[in-house]
């Protein structure tokens, strides 16, 4: 996997390189309630947080084969909050025994002119979806249970259609590069959610075909 | 010799008093919990309290059975002075439970034999036991032992059987589907099934799903077309050029594809 050229690399400006550790799974609608109860018991005691987000994925086609991808996300339940722009790198193929998917992650907040700005920069929106669900926290771990919906008319977030009869469950941690012990904690947390949902490391490139 | 026995007696009485104090404290906190926090009390915590009391009683028993403990049966307590007046020191010692060392409390606190009613019942039971005869008694003992061991076996062993049963039940109602997981991960990671360029297949009839047409340019969706995902059932080749053609023809082809590639028909 060749690295993109320097002109396309995200500018981190001396800040610590953050990595995202990720485990994913899914759960049927019928089992959602039990999963939420279990998470409420296992996670930090706070009001369960629900969210409705609209995510747009932008592509910048360079001369090389692989396009540069940026994800822009805005909250539909808090329309005045800033947009959230995220870059996710390729998953690190290091240790096969590492239990979670690790990839470079850069997050910034942006103003509401983000879509126009990205269009001016040359990015084209590839796809968008609406994700709504619940978020839980346990220490540094974030657990998101969300249902994804396809947007039928681009730009119209009211007219959506569910992608599948399951909810996506994601367990993620944002940590500076080099802290591999997080994956152990994530794995033991994932054990506690079995057999309701199996959280595992799913390589996205294997899902293409 | 006397002194050693006295010292032993003193030590035994002291340790007995401390263990009894532990039991008293445990009972006190348990009663408090039952009286004040009964709404929040769970059965496991009640069981914990009982287990604590039982452990403490066990340790008292062990202490009494200990060889170093002199036999308390040989000791006699004789009240030397009984008075109906309130005794402050005694009240302080017993935390206001025994304010007066009088004729009323002596039968209860200094009792060595069981209550008269209990004694009567015990006598009746021993008469009954003697009446049955040794063989019948032996048979009864054996039946009781067998029942107990059967029950113990049932409780201990088929944990494995029970587990396999519950595992079978669980398998009948899976709570997740790996195929769904893969589909969702694909959608989040690179928009499988989500592209603006409407793929034929999972489109609800009645939603034309027409947006601005793709004006060319490679997209992630087109990369997956070559892979032949099930959305492409019946429609090989790039989808974009067809959509740029007659939008009016789309509905009919979509309908046929729904029959063949509907994700909800499981």
Q: What is the DSSP string of B152-204?
A: HHHHHTTHHHHHHHHHHHHHHS-S--HHHHHHHHHHHHH-TTTBSSPPSSS--
Task: Indicate whether B187 belongs to any domain.
Answer: no
Q: Which residue has the higher pLDDT, A173 or B108?
A: A173
**Average pLDDT of chain B, as a whole number:** 72
- pLDDT of A29 higher than 60: yes
Q: Which of A35-39, B64-68, B223-227 has the lowest mean pLDDT?
A: B223-227
Task: Indicate whether B154 belongs to any domain.
Answer: yes
Structure confidence by residue, pLDDT tens digits, A102-120: 888 889 999 999 999 999 9
Task: Indicate whether B186 belongs to any domain.
Answer: no
> Closest to B204 (Cβ–Cβ): which among A154, A161, A209?
A161
Structure confidence by residue, pLDDT tens digits, A80-95: 999 999 998 888 776 6
My answer on whether B83 and B69 are in the same domain is no
Residue among B194, B207, B187 nearest A159 (CA): B207
Length of chain A in residues, anyone? 209
Classify the phi-psi angles of A64: left when phi > 0, otherwise alpha if psi is within -120 to 50, otherwise beta.
Answer: beta
Task: Indicate whether B211 belongs to any domain.
Answer: no
Domain count, chain B: 3
To test the contact with chain A by mutation, choose from B163, B177, B186, B194 the residue with the greatest count of A C-beta atoms within 10 A, namely: B194
CATH at residue B11: 1.20.58
Structure confidence by residue, pLDDT tens digits, A167-182: 999 999 988 877 777 7
- pLDDT of B241 higher than 80: no
Task: Indicate whether B64 belongs to any domain.
Answer: yes
All domains in chain A, ordered by first residue: 8-198 (2.40.320.10)
What pLDDT does A120 receive?
92
For residue A195, whether the previous peptide bond is cis, meaning omega lies within 30 degrees of 0, is yes
**Distance (Å) from the alpha carbon of A153 to chain B's nearest alpha carbon:** 6
**Following CA atoms B246, B249, B250, B253 in sequence, which dihedral angle do they give, to the nearest 10 degrees?**
-140
Instruction: Give the separation between CA B23 and CA A7, rounded to whole angstroms.
Output: 76
**pLDDT, average across residues A132-139:** 90
Instruction: Give the separation between CA A195 and CA A199, rounded to whole angstroms.
Output: 10
Q: Which of A25-29, A141-145, B11-15, B198-202 has the lowest mean pLDDT?
A: B198-202
> Closest to A152 (Cβ–Cβ): which among B188, B209, B224?
B209
- pLDDT of A146 higher than 90: yes
Structure confidence by residue, pLDDT tens digits, A174-205: 888 777 777 788 888 888 887 788 888 887 77
My answer on whether B5 and B63 are in the same domain is yes
Judging contacts by C-beta atoms under 8 Å, the chain B residues touching residue A162 are none
My answer on whether B8 and B56 are in the same domain is yes
Work out the percent of chain A whose per-residue pLDDT is above 70.
88
Sorted by sequence, the CB contacts under 8 Å of residue A4 that are 6+ apart come out as A62, A64, A66, A68
**pLDDT, average across residues B79-90:** 84
Domain of B132, in residue numbers: 123-166
Q: Which residues of B touch A (CB under 8 A)?
A: 170, 174-178, 180-196, 204, 207, 209, 211-212, 217-221, 223-224, 227-229, 263-264
What pLDDT does A209 receive?
52
Q: What is the ipTM of this complex?
A: 0.81
My answer on whether B9 and B49 are in the same domain is yes
Structure confidence by residue, pLDDT tens digits, B24-55: 999 999 999 899 887 787 787 888 889 889 98
């Amino acid at each position: 996997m060749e690295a993109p050229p320097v002109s396309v690399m995200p500018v981190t400006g001396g800040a610590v390189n953050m990595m995202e550790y990720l485990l994913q799974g899914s759960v049927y609608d019928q089992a959602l309630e039990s999963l939420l109860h279990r998470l409420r018991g296992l996670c930090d005691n706070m009001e369960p947080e629900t969210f409705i987000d609209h995510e747009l994925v932008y592509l910048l086609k360079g001369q090389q084969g692989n396009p540069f991808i940026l994800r822009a996300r805005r909250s539909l339940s808090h329309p005045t909050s800033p947009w959230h722009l995220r870059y996710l790198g390729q998953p690190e193929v290091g240790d096969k025994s590492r239990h979670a998917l690790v990839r470079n992650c850069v997050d910034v907040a942006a103003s509401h002119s983000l879509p126009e700005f990205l269009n001016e920069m040359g990015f084209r929106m590839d796809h968008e979806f609406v994700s709504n669900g619940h978020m839980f926290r346990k220490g540094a771990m974030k657990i998101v249970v969300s249902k994804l919906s396809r947007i039928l008319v681009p730009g119209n977030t009211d007219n959506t259609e569910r992608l599948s009869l399951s909810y996506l469950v994601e367990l993620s941690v944002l940590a500076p590069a080099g802290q591999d012990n997080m994956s152990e904690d994530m794995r033991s947390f994932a054990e506690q959610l079995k057999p309701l949902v199996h959280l595992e490391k799913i390589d996205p490139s294997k899902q293409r075909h | 010799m006397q002194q050693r026995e006295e010292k032993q007696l003193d030590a035994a009485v002291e340790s007995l008093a401390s263990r009894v104090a532990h039991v008293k404290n445990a009972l006190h906190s348990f009663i408090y919990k039952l009286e004040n926090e009964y709404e929040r009390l769970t059965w496991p915590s009640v069981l914990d309290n009982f287990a604590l009391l039982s452990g403490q009683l066990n340790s008292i028993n062990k202490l009494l059975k200990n060889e170093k403990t002199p036999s308390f049966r040989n000791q006699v307590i004789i009240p030397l002075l009984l008075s109906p007046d309130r005794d402050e020191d005694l009240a302080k010692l017993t935390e206001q439970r025994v304010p007066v060392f009088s004729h009323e409390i002596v039968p209860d606190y200094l009792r060595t034999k069981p209550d008269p009613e209990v004694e009567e019942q015990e006598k009746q039971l021993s008469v009954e036991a003697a009446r049955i005869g040794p063989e019948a008694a032996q048979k009864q003992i054996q039946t009781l032992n067998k029942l107990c061991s059967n029950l113990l076996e049932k409780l201990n062993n088929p944990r494995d059987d029970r587990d396999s049963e519950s595992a079978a039940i669980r398998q009948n109602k899976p709570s997740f589907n790996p195929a769904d997981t893969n589909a969702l991960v694909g959608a989040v990671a690179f928009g499988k099934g989500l592209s603006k360029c409407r793929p034929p297949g999972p489109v609800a009839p009645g939603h034309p799903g027409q947006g601005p047409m793709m004006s060319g340019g490679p997209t992630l969706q087109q990369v997956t077309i070559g892979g032949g995902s099930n959305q492409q059932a019946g429609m090989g080749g790039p989808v974009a050029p067809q959509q740029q053609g007659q939008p009016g023809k789309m509905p009919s082809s979509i309908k046929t594809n729904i029959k063949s590639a509907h994700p909800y028909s499981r």
